[in-house]
Amino acid sequence: MRPIRSVAAVAVFLSIALLMAAASAGAQVNRWDTIGPKPYSGNGQGVNVYGLAFGAGDTLLAADSLGVFASPGDGTWQAALQVPWVGAIPPFYAFYSILTASGSPNIVLAGLSAGGVSRSTDGGRSWSGGLGGAGFLAMAAGSSSPQVAYGSVKVVQSFSTSRSTDYGATWTDLTSLDGSPVTALVVDPESSDIVYGCIGSSATGLPAGVYRSTDGGSSWSRLGGLPDDVCKAVAVDFQSPATVYAGFDTDGIFRSDDGGQSWLAVNEGLRSLAVRQVVVDPVESSVVYAGTGSGVFRSGDRGGHWGSIGFNGSGITSLTLDPESPKTVYAGVPAGLQKITLAPTGPCVPGPETLCLNAGRFRVEIVWRAPSAGASSVGQSFPITDDTGAFWFFDAANLEVVVKVLDAESVNGNFWVFFGALSNVEYTITVTDTRTGRIQSYYSAGGPLVSYADTSAFPGDSAAAPAALVAPPPLSRSVQSPATTSLCVPDSHTLCQLDGRFQVRVEWQGSATDPIQNASAVALTDDTGYFWFFDAANIELMVKTLDGTSVNGHYWVFSGALSNVHYRIVVTDLATNAVQTYDNPQGQLASFADTSAF
């Protein structure tokens, strides 16, 4: 019998467990951890992080649509700069850049999408106006002369780019740009007079492209040899400033080794050519990172080859390296902020927090977080088959997420990753290919249950073109007439859950012309089990029932899907003869949570 039966008991257990587990999710290499920031938006969901910086005492500053938030590194966050709400509508107050002046860590400049650049001289505790404007575009500061900064803002009818030589206290307009919109800036690490900028299209001003100034912005020259595309990012090699990178909206990344005189496309291995950020490791300059429309990528050979380190299918909103430890990477993903510390990959060793799947090649870990309690922890592993396993968060009898890694090299040259959720808390799954060192990760901000099928997760020896990662539509639910009143008897096609009160069966059909078959059932705990269709080693579906009567007067049914074939779940309450059926149409991959099932 389960030690915790009802949802009410789980809630009591959770409040204690969260406090005890808060410190257990410590830093670990090659695993993405969700780190905030908080508070969340008015609907309880996370918000996008657009800028990151490090202030005095290793304080991490994060800027999102609710303002600037500061963390001392212990997982807690405090508001540093906010705008009051008007009624029930939050202000449009996204920060697209935030930086701390090198050598003067108490001076912070933050660009506001709704109004220029604000300045703080006390590490973000108080703020004053710096560079006025109706909107913010881009900003960069020098490292050789940290007092020098460049900023671009929108004005009433045009755009303005300015230069400061006193840490952003005063600014001088650079009239040579003729009111052009500058969407990205970077300063040469050896000379603050050398600056590169991306200029976007406008009715007036200079033609769009990548520009370079060698006289502190007094004059600019347009660089040739680049695509006719919107430039989104520029970066400079700290060790060799003549090496410059430019990231574009649809054409990927280009590298110049001669200060922008000539360029080479460096896109091998990128799964998305929509590049938003390019960051060069300041210590090991051959290492370059890219934030793209389909995750974070890393190159160890100056862009010659790229490999994923996470978030396939997710657009990256910000990307920053820890200045004291550049192997620690921070990434803003939709509705969250993530952190990982990279290290050489060793063989997978199964353990309480680690699944080793597909003959031990892939290491799988998960970190969960409950924002309302301000705590997080590491999911506990539950091995099932060679390619499938699950994790539990609060109770070993209550599985929350199931993950499967399949070798599909014969189909499209890739290894596939599937996961299905039985939980609505926030979590991040990290899957590492221990043979190649590539990392893939999947983030759920909490709320609706999700399933994913990533058929381009890891390339094999002959990788095919990547497939898109698509969020599934919600699964429909219907009610059918009662079927039986007998006590549940488990067999090869039947799960009996919650002390046998609920009978769960699944029918499936490979195609519209195939016969309907009964899925094979395997019980895992008193409330959770799985079904397989084609092969006993290939799990397709997990089903869980919970007693939620103390919460809303109902018993709950959860499904975690790893299959997109046509199937029907039939759950029968043998105490009342009530029956619920859940149909999944062919081609759909969807988990669900029915909290009013019975």
Cβ within 8 Å of residue 236, ≥6 positions away? 186, 187, 188, 189, 196, 243, 244, 245, 280
The SS3 call for residue 20 is: helix
Give the H or E element holding residue 532.
Answer: strand 528-532
pLDDT for 27 beyond 50: no
Q: Are strands 325-333 and 159-164 parallel, antiparallel or unpaired?
A: unpaired
pLDDT of residue 295: 92
Confidence of residue 352 (pLDDT cuts 50, 70, 90): very high
DSSP state of 550: H
Cβ within 8 Å of residue 55, ≥6 positions away? 61, 70, 100, 105, 106, 108, 123, 124
Segment 100-156, tens digit of pLDDT = 666 566 788 888 777 788 888 877 777 887 788 877 888 898 888 888 999 988 887
The SS3 call for residue 329 is: strand
Average pLDDT in the chain? 81
What backbone torsions phi and psi does residue 541 show, to the nearest 5 degrees?
-160, 140
Segment 541-583, tens digit of pLDDT = 889 898 888 878 889 888 888 888 899 999 999 888 888 989 8
**Tokens found for residue 594:** 């029915």
Burial class (CB in 10 A: 0-12, 13-18, 19+), 352: exposed
Give the range among 15-29, 61-75, 211-225 with minimum mean pLDDT: 15-29
Confidence of residue 481 (pLDDT cuts 50, 70, 90): very low
HEC readout, 159-225 = EEEEEECCCCCCCEECHHHCCCCEEEEEECCCCCCCEEEEECCCCCCCCCEEEEECCCCCCCEECCC
Report the predicted TM-score, pTM, of the whole model to 2 decimal places: 0.76
pLDDT of residue 336: 79
The SS3 call for residue 131 is: strand
Confidence of residue 504 (pLDDT cuts 50, 70, 90): very high
pLDDT of residue 1: 21
pLDDT for 343 beyond 50: yes
Max mean pLDDT among 10-14, 315-319, 584-588 falls in 315-319
221-245: buried (b, 16+ CB within 10 Å) or exposed (e) per residue?
eebeebbebbbbbbbbbbeebebbb
pLDDT of residue 474: 38
Q: What is the pLDDT averaged over residues 529-543?
A: 90
